[in-house]
Structures are given as C-alpha cells and as structure tokens.
Amino acid sequence: MDWRFNTIWFEQLDQNNIFRKDFKTPNKRIDSNDLANTAYAIVWHLKEKLNSFESLPESERLLYLELNWANIKDFVGIEKFKNLRRLELHYCTKLTSYTGLNLLKDSLEFLHINQSKKLVISEELLSLSKIKVLRLNACGDIDNLDFLSNFPELIDFRFLNTNILDGNLQPILNHPTIRSVGFLNKRHYNYKAEKIDSLLKEKFPEDHRIYVYNEKGKTFRY
C-alpha cells in the first residue's frame, strides 16, 4: 500500500510516516522536523497570509500531499517538495492559478483537484508531462480537451462536474494511453459516459489495474 493506490488505506501505512495538521486547532505552529521526515502529509484549513505553499516547511521525502479547505490561490512555493508524486486538493475554493505547479514537472504523477471552480487550464498545468492520473472535478469550465495531448503518459482522466464547453470528447478516444475516464453526461457532449467506457474497453481489453483487498472492500493502483 502506497501513494499509487486509488484509495489509500492510511491505517496500513507506518503512522510515523504520516504528517497530519489541522490549522483550526489552537496550536497553529507546524513542526518542520515532522513534515521533513514523512512521506505523507494531510493538512486541513491552511490559512496563512501568503496564501501559498511558502508557509509550509521544505521536505525532500514528501511523496503525497493532501490539502483540505486551504485558502491558497496558486502553487507558488510548492517546488520545496521536489520529489512529490501525488497532490490532492479538496475544497480549496480560492485557488485561481496553476502558477508554480510547473516546477514539479519532473516528479508529479497524480493530480486530483476537487471543488476549485475558479481554476482554469493554463500552460503551467500542461507542462506536467509525467502525469498518469488527472482529476479536475468541479473545477472551472474547460474550452476543449485538446490539451490532453500534452500528457503522453496519462492513464486515467476524470472531470466530474467540470464542463467541457465545446462538448467534443473525441480527444479522449484519440489519446494513445487513456484507459479510464469519469464524467457526468451532458446534452452537448458527443459521447455518453457509457459509450466512452465501452470504446475504451474495446481499445484496452485487459484490465491494467493491480488490486488489493481487505474486509472493507478493494482498491487498486494503475
């Protein structure tokens, strides 16, 4: 079990290797040593004056970073996590720019952004050529899907509650490596989700995922 799995069972990881911090708690000081010596970090309610990653201490070991309800506006300062492989942001509603994210183009493989309605596609995002999993759920409108060609290793792409303005989903099928997608059907889309899934299964008949199981169910990695 590690950062590569779709759902991470954190209880199976070494708890000393997980940094957790809620900035709503009375003690808002962050221990640099704790973050510097862990591979996983989960942070809630980051509310710093700089509105950026510059308020977090540097870590070369960090592989997974999850921010929940942070008030960041961009990704300035994130390069201090130069070996970061997976980045998740949930309900970071003030996020408006990908500025700074391009500095992780040599490491980042998994990007999941959920509920950042002001965030739109930009060149900084397109520089992430190593991305394998891209999830832009409930983000700003996307003009078209032509940008997918910038991600030659992309396997999984999801855009639940994010609108593709031109309605053309053909770039998903044209992409040489995308095996799975997730989206909600809309009238102006030229394919239904069920049809896309069917065509991708024809294109890639073998299941590419590796599964693990426990008493709660299963998870997988790509």
Averaged pLDDT, 102-122: 97
Sign of CA dihedral 10, 11, 15, 17: negative
Instruction: Tell me how far apart the alpha carbons of residues 10 and 88 are, in angstroms, rounded to a whole number.
Output: 15
More confident residue, 26 or 176: 176
Which of 26-40, 118-132, 138-152, 162-176 has the lowest average pLDDT?
Answer: 26-40
Query: Tens digits of per-residue pLDDT, 20-67?
Result: 888 887 565 555 458 888 999 999 988 766 556 776 788 999 999 999
Classify 129 in phi/psi space as left (phi over 0), alpha (psi -120 to 50) or beta: alpha
At 130 the three-state DSSP class reads: coil
In the chain, the percentage of residues whose pLDDT exceeds 90 is 79
CA distances from 104 to 2, 76, 128, 174 (A): 20, 11, 7, 26
Query: Tens digits of per-residue pLDDT, 73-83?
Result: 999 999 999 99
Averaged pLDDT, 185-214: 96
Q: Is a pLDDT exceeding 80 seen at residue 200?
A: yes
Is the pTM higher than 0.85? The answer reads: yes
- Domains along the chain with CATH numbers: 10-221 (3.80.10.10)
Q: Is a pLDDT exceeding 60 seen at residue 104?
A: yes
Give the total residue count for the chain. Answer: 222
Instruction: Look up tokens 């639940």; give the residue.
Output: 160
Residue 172 — very low, low, confident or very high, per pLDDT cuts 50/70/90?
very high
Instruction: Tell me how far apart the alpha carbons of residues 145 and 69 are, in angstroms, rounded to a whole number.
Output: 28
**Strand (E) or helix (H) holding 202:** helix 193-203
The encoded tokens of residue 63 equal 């592989």
In the chain, the percentage of residues whose pLDDT exceeds 70 is 93
Predicted confidence at residue 83, as pLDDT, reads: 98
Write a three-state SS string for 80-127. HCCCCCEEEEECCCCCCCCCCHHHHCCCCCEEEEEEECCCCCCHHHHC
Instruction: Give the mean pLDDT of the chain.
Output: 92
